[in-house]
Amino acid sequence: MIVGDRKPLEEILDYIKDYKKIMLMGCGGCVTVCFSGGSKAAELLASQIKMARKQAGNEIEIIECTPTRQCEYEFLEEFAEQVKSVEAVLSIACGVGVQAMAVQFPEKHTVPGLNTKFMGYPVEHAVWEEKCAGCGDCVLEWTGGLCPISRCAKKLLNGPCGGSVDKVCEVNKDVECVWHTIYDRLKVLGKLENLTKVRKAKDWRTSTNAGQRRITFEEAML
Ligand code: SF4
Ligand code: SF4
């Protein structure tokens, strides 16, 4: 899922400082699951904003709503009238949701309330770890299902840098060296020969390096 973190309240207050009436829009998708952008998060943020603005002697009206998914126009249309009635929208969806609002309601200023971080997997309750960076040319087949793009600080494709100690990455002492884990996994799978092939430098044009990417499913168009 897409994982995001709420921006600091001070930053959000600055984005909306010129407005007296806003819509605070959550999203019922990924950000609800990771607690940062669902209806409960919207309710909490709305009360924090109102309290801060009241204390500053500059009260604000907030309409709260949480579409099923903010990243799809089908779920946004029903809020058109409400969007018209406010000066700006504060979105606590991921960056896709914010941009969906900007496309759907171009005359309205939509500002982000989250910092969208990564595609992650829950490793325990309320803890997610990055697992995929959407590089566009997946290598998991020969790495034993472990991603060296999102999980190795140097994004190495031909084995470890040599700096790890006791399975811990030399760049960040809080994370495992994924290349150590790839070795262990391939050993279990009986596929250590995967590590003897020299991999060519990755073509990063399949990632974000060549600008915006687009996917078309021809079958769905029939
Ligand atoms: S290799 Fe690329 S597509 Fe595959 S998991 Fe890693 S970042 Fe994602
Ligand atoms: S120690 Fe391991 S995970 Fe960290 S940068 Fe080196 S190879 Fe990558």
Residues in the chain where the model's pLDDT stays below 50: none
Phi, psi of 127 (to 5 degrees): -130, 125
- Tens-place pLDDT, residues 196-205: 999 999 999 9
Atom from ligand 1 closest to the CA of residue 151: 6
Domains of the chain plus CATH, in order, are 2-117 (3.40.50.2300), 133-204 (no CATH)
Question: Which residue puts its alpha carbon closest to atom 8 of ligand 1?
Answer: 132
* Joined tokens for residue 125: 């309750």
141-154 pLDDT, tens per residue? 999 999 999 999 99
Ligand 2 mean position, distance from CA 166 (Å): 12
Q: How far apart are CA 217 and CA 214, in angstroms?
A: 10
pLDDT attached to residue 47: 98
Kindly state the tokens that stand for 160.
Answer: 């470890």
